[in-house]
Structure 1
Amino acid sequence: MTLTRRHFGLGTLALGFAGCTTVNGPTVTTPRATAGLPDDLRPVANADYDAWVAGFRSRAGAKGLTETTLANGFRGTGYLPGVVRRDRNQTEFKRSLEDYLAIAVSEERVAKGRAAFSNHRATLNALESTYGVDATIIAAIWGLESFYGDRRGNVPVVSATSTLAYDGRRGAFFEKQLVAALKILQSGDTTADRLVGSWAGAMGHTQFIPTSYQAFAVDFTGDGRRDIWSDDPSDALASAAAYLARNGWTRGVKWGGEVGNNAPAGSILQPQPGGPRFAVTSNFRAIKRYNNSDAYAIGVGHLADRIGGAGPLVSSFPPDENGMTKDDRVALQRGLTARGFDTQGTDGVIGPNTRKAIEAYQASRGQTVTGAPSLTLLRSLG
């Protein structure tokens, strides 16, 4: 597997989130930023974890960490069972490009992106001038990673990374993230209370893992701290631009575009059979260094185009395996919701909420409960 900026199965499309102090003995609960955290993301007593932390602390000096940093970093932290559960329960779920773009480039995300771009135009244009990365691309990464700063995560990073390092499934990787997180504290870029992120340790507006933060984070505001957690997104946006600039971005070259819609010359890609085709350039590959996924890179590029004023894709996607088009799926969701079986949205993406609504509707009519969408089901709602 290629290690890119993030090596775990999350992102803003899934991002949603204490305390224990371990001092060579039993875990003692202390308060620390518990607001909004689910119960399984609050520390619980775990003697084996405590022993692992004690062992880590005994060898941390060789990694350049001071006792003061370790004391401050681990104060109020602890074992998070929900982090392990999320890590182990990741499935190889493959969403179609149509469904991915319905979420990643939703009209809500486009509208919010245009507003965010307008509000931060001066900063984004300055970053484009400095790093050569299109301002709209920077804004689109911000939009996909944290919904323009609204979903930065609030799980203590030391707790998350130490839990995953102790768990061992990707122990060496997460121990590196833990060391890097503690070095962030040691450098004074932020404080222990503000060192928060996703359940897997991705941080700030642009969801950097700690090692990528160390390598690429930028103090664009000049205040002496590379503060990607601040409500002011300047440092985080600059860090994303710096990442792309140092990973192959070419100034003045478009990422690509839909074939037949003013696309630049480039390699042809059709991620979904029968769906739109895209001409992609070297900058598409630079975006993939941020997240090694064709769908992600198309999502960033298309969202950037939409933020810049472009319209939706011109080509349509074929019907799904149930013979349903996106319009059919939207109609199904609207029909279910109108009958009192709320699908929690009408984006045409058949996710858990829609399947639960279908199950409830089928049960109410004495049908076999499958949760599966179909044209027959749609017609029954007519």
Structure 2
Amino acid sequence: MMTKLAAILCSACISTSALAKTQAQFDEYVAGLKQEAAQKGYDSQLIDDAFATAHFKEKIISADKNQPEVKETLETYLPKRVPQWKIDRARKLYAENKDVLEQVAKEFGVQARFIVALWGLESNFGKIQGGHNVISSVVTLAFDGRRETMYKNQLWAALDILKEGHITLDKFKGSWAGAMGQTQFMPTSFNAYAVDYDKDGRKDIWTTQVDAFASIANYLKQAGWNDDLTWGRQVKLPEGFDPNYVLQRGTKTRKQWLEYWAKSERSLADWQALGVRKMDGTDLPNVDVTAALVMPDDMGGRMYLAYDNYKALMHWNRSYYFATSVGYLSDRIGYPAI
């Protein structure tokens, strides 16, 4: 009869054996990636240096497969995501960086309060950027295979970042999923939206605040931001309101989500006629603006009339909770015009 200690030792042997097998498979996978990188024209020294830092990280795969599924509502999410200390910090940092923020805001056509809100929510104003080696993260997740194509694309983008000299390999850090810097851009987003605002030859979203501010603004601008609008407002619905008018939550492709948005979108005058009111019961603004009615939870939860800028926030992160938290924090920093 196997003793408890023997059983533990046997289990440990199996685990060690499985890990050794996985490590061998990972090494073979990395060798294939190096060949593919060479075929794509990357410099041999860059390939050798970058892949020398690529190590199999079992914890990354575990984190990816076991992301917590906490039962949340917007009522519980917002106080945790946007506590009073974060609002106070956002206001303080806005004031301290007001001149450069408003310069960036004017140049890109994105209100400064939204830049600060995204900065605060993504990285706690640059304080929490992640300490994982980006190459290890994206190679490990590509090796896992569930989203191989996506993470291989992130790998090539990461090599481009190194090739162009925006950051040195020893400082190329991010989250376990590969999100980087004060903006928490994935490598492909970095290549699409990052900005060298201080003109020092590097798009430095890790240590240069103004580059981070401009990169956030550029992302929103490219996503269709309109600085004549705010993001939306919380509203009250009349008794017996038809839920078919609501843009309901659910995991959809961006194309499908935009199609749902188009079906819900109406003028503020039309929403007024349907009985939708501000939270204090007064009329909606008398302006020529369209909005979709967003329901982050259910018909008993908060409701928002969301303007076109909400679509840009959903392009950043397709989560009603995230997009609403950005808008909520931006409102606490300053006040919307509409």
Question: What TM-score bracket applies, with the shorter chain setting the length?
Answer: 0.7 to 0.9
- 5+ residue gaps, structure 2: 1-20, 236-277
TM-score by length of 2: 0.75
Aligned length: 266
Q: What TM-score do the two structures reach when normalised by structure 1?
A: 0.66
Shift of residue 102 of structure 1? 1.1
Q: Among 289, 293, 305, which residue is 1:268 paired with?
A: 293
Aligned to 2:323: 297
- Match status 1:102 vs 2:66: no
Contact 2:53/2:135 (<8 A) preserved: no
1:239 lines up with 2:215 in the alignment:
yes
SS in 1 for 2:322: helix
1:1-382 pair list within 5 angstroms: 46-230=23-207, 232-259=208-235, 260=278, 266-272=291-297, 273-308=299-334
Structure 1 residues without counterparts, runs of 5 or longer: 1-43, 311-382
Shift of 1:277: 2.5
Greater RCO, CA 8 A, separation 6+: 2
1:197-255 residue CA offsets vs partner (Å, 9 max, x unmatched): 0000000001000011111111011101000111x321122111101101111121111
Instruction: State the secondary structure of the residue aligned to 1:71.
Output: helix
> What is the alpha-carbon distance in structure 2 between the residues aligned to residue 283 and residue 251 of structure 1?
8
Q: Is the 8 A contact 1:104 1:303 kept in 2?
A: no
Q: Tell me the secondary structure at the aligned position of residue 267 of structure 1.
A: strand
**Cα RMSD over matched residues?**
1.9
- 2:189 aligned counterpart, secondary structure: helix
Amino acid at match of 1:284: Y
Instruction: Report deviation, 1:160.
Output: 0.5
Residue 91 of structure 1: CA displacement? 5.0
Deviation at 1:93, TM superposition (A): 4.3
In structure 1, what residue type is equivalent to 2:330?
Answer: A
Deviations 1:315-337 (A, max 9, x none): xxxxxxxxxxxxxxxxxxxxxxx
Cα distance in 2 for residues equivalent to 1:64 and 1:292: 34
Residues 45 and 234 of structure 1: CA distance in aligned 2, closer, same or farther (over 3 Å): farther
Distance in 1, Cα, partners of 2:179 & 2:223:
19
C-alpha contact (below 8 Å) 2:197/2:214 kept by paired residues: yes
The CA distance in 2 between the partners of 1:295 and 1:76, in whole Å, is 35
Tell me which stretches of 4 or more aligned residues in structure 1 moved more than 4 Å.
Answer: 91-94, 261-265
| Structure 1 counterpart of 2:10 | none
**Higher mean C-alpha displacement, 106-115 vs 272-281:** 272-281
